[in-house]
Amino acid sequence: MKGKNPFCITFGRPPVQLVSRITEKQHIIDMFTMSPITDQIFLITGVRGSGKTVLMGEISNELEQTGEWIVLRENTSYDINKSIYSDLYKALHKHHISLQMVSVNSPIGGITFESEGGEESLSEQIDTLLQIAEKHHKKVLVTIDEVYNCENIRKFSKIFQTALTRKRSIFFLGTGLFENIDALINEKDMTFLHRAPRIELTPLNSTAMAASYQSVFQIPLRKALELAALTKGYSFAFQALGYIFWERDCPDDISTIMSDYDALLSNSSYNVIWRECSKKDQEILEAMAGIDSSDVSAIRKACGDMSSRYFSVYRQRLIRKGILTSDARSTLTFALPRFREYIQHEIMMRDFSD
């Protein structure tokens, strides 16, 4: 098709064609803006490619546009606390807010904090900035993408907990994989996260996806629904399939683009998801890919007659990871589109190389 492809296959980049998670977005915004405030933290979890970063971006942009919020978009690769101090100082200055109370060596570029006292001194100076923001009716939202248990996050948590204790108007919105957030919450110094609300991203609405496909490609509803069904509601798959369908000029026979679809899913998402699975996770997934049944007892048998109690631990973990899904206690299927085919191909390639 002519023109710029409206679908995006770059992770984290807001696509032109977007099936918005309106319910989840509005829920978090309502919780952050309601009075009195009950929650100042929200965590968004989901499998890679489920749209966590895009949702966080929608929320932070909408709050920022009200003029009442200062959004600090931080990164785990850097010292988060120093970045918060620097970014908040610059934001307040941009809003023409007086900073006479703040002691810095350089007003804008190369902002530094008083090093004497270390983290404690930095915490006090951040608190001063937060007080100034509150005085001018500004709330501060810190967003961090793909949080995990690392030193920068642990240091940030101490300053954030102090701010919460002092009832400052600071909020935290983070995204992360299920296992990374669980590991973070179980860290002894992360008690403030134990009661933090979590939103686990579920599959996108199939009707909304079909409507988007029909609008963009000007195709019959039946065909749009067929395309939507091939994504299983997986956010990245919605973008990937739309991207390929656009590039291939909307072929009448969808089967002609399946090899490209599989390749894009594999190279951009599934290879990473597979590598992050434990050896036992991979064994169970390979056993599932090798049989036609979705019955749990058949899967356990394919896993070498694994005991129900032992199997249930991995079953639940793979469901929480967003790789598997279960409509009933006795069934288990792949949540990700064509992930079974991906595993079968991996097994075949491994056997061939051996």
pLDDT at 252 over 90: yes
DSSP state of 349: H
Query: The whole model's pTM is what?
Result: 0.88
| DSSP result, 273-303 | HHHTS-HHHHHHHHHHHT-S--BHHHHHHHT
pLDDT of residue 107: 40
Strand partners, 43: 174, 198
pLDDT of residue 106: 39
Q: What percent of the chain has pLDDT over 90?
A: 77
Query: pLDDT tens digits, residue range 276-285?
Result: 999 999 999 9
Distances (CA, A) of 229 to 205, 206, 295: 10, 7, 22
pLDDT at 194 over 80: no
What is the mean pLDDT of the segment spanning 152-161? Answer: 92
Token reading at 244: 């390929």
Distances (CA, A) of 343 to 38, 85, 172, 290, 313: 44, 46, 37, 9, 21
- Residues contacting 92, CB < 8 A, separation 6+: 70, 99, 129, 132, 133, 136, 138
- Measured CA to CA, the distance from residue 133 to residue 69 in angstroms comes to 9
Crossing angle of helices 52-65 and 22-33, rounded to 10°: 50
- Measured CA to CA, the distance from residue 285 to residue 212 in angstroms comes to 32
| DSSP result, 78-137 | S-HHHHHHHHHHHHHHHTT---TT---SSSSTT-----TTHHHHHHHHHHHHHHHHHHTT
Token reading at 292: 């036609």
- Measured CA to CA, the distance from residue 211 to residue 230 in angstroms comes to 14
pLDDT at 188 over 70: yes
What is the mean pLDDT of the segment spanning 154-158? Answer: 91
pLDDT at 19 over 70: yes
pLDDT at 109 over 80: no
pLDDT of residue 195: 77
pLDDT at 104 over 50: no
Query: pLDDT tens digits, residue range 300-323?
Result: 999 999 999 999 999 999 999 999
Domains of the chain in sequence order: 22-200 (3.40.50.300), 213-273 (no CATH), 277-353 (1.10.10.10)
pLDDT of residue 100: 63
Parallel, antiparallel, or unpaired: how do β-strands 170-176 and 139-144 relate? parallel
C-alpha 167: how far from its chain's center? 28
pLDDT of residue 118: 62
Q: Which residue has the tokens 């307040």?
A: 92
For residues 248 and 12, the answer to whether their CB atoms sit within 8 Å is: no
Q: What percent of the chain has pLDDT over 70?
A: 94
Mean of per-residue pLDDT scores for the chain: 90
pLDDT at 113 over 50: no
Q: Give 353's pLDDT tier (boundaries 50, 70, 90).
A: confident
What is the mean pLDDT of the segment spanning 89-112? Answer: 65
Query: pLDDT tens digits, residue range 203-237?
Result: 999 999 999 999 999 999 999 999 999 999 999 99
Parallel, antiparallel, or unpaired: how do β-strands 333-334 and 324-325 relate? antiparallel
pLDDT of residue 102: 57
User: H-helix or E-strand containing 334?
Assistant: strand 333-334
Long-range contacts of residues 209-217, Cβ cutoff 8 Å, at least 24 apart: 209/19, 209/233, 209/238, 212/17, 212/19, 212/238, 212/242, 213/242, 213/245, 216/6, 216/17, 216/242, 216/246, 217/1, 217/245, 217/246, 217/250
Q: Which parts of 168-307 fold into alpha helices (H)?
A: 178-185, 206-217, 221-229, 235-247, 258-265, 271-275, 279-289, 296-302
